[in-house]
Amino acid sequence: MITYSTAALLFPAISLIMLAYTNRFLALAALVRSLHAKYLEHNKKGVLQGQIGNLRYRLKLLRHMQGAGVVSFISCIVCMYGIYLDNVLVAEITFAMSLLFFTISLVISFVEIQLSNKALELELSDMDSGKVDDHQKE
């Protein structure tokens, strides 16, 4: 049987992940603003176009991550309300939904982290291209 303490276990986890997603969003927003300034300053379409596409997709993933996290939180609240009403079926179903949406949110987060790492690798390879050419000559 699900108790208040069972459902309450998800609250800190969901809250922390939502905080992490908010921080991720703020970092992406700063990156978008930085790229926009670079674009206006240098107008290097070739290099920036790939980064812009990557950022658009990552922002979309972030929106889905946050959405799934919010639905998880709401499901957990409804679960606690079901426990309060002594409705075991509602509590169990909404607790399972909360876990499911929390898992979906984390999986999307994993995909976004992989894309973030690829974007950083592209940045490093762009700056490191001179060294690669020097090593190939040796």
Share above pLDDT 70 across residues of the chain, in percent, rounded to a whole number: 82
Calpha distance 85→38 (Å, rounded) = 56
DSSP state of 86: T
Q: What angle do CA 31, 35, 36 make, to 5 degrees?
A: 115
pLDDT digits (tens, 9 = 90+) for 107-119: 999 999 888 887 7
Written as six digits, the tokens of 86 are 């002594």
- Domains of the chain, by residue range, sit at 4-127
Task: Give the pTM.
Answer: 0.72
**Dihedral over alpha carbons 80, 81, 86, 91 (to 10 degrees):** -60
pLDDT digits (tens, 9 = 90+) for 39-83: 777 765 666 677 778 888 988 999 999 999 999 999 999 999 999
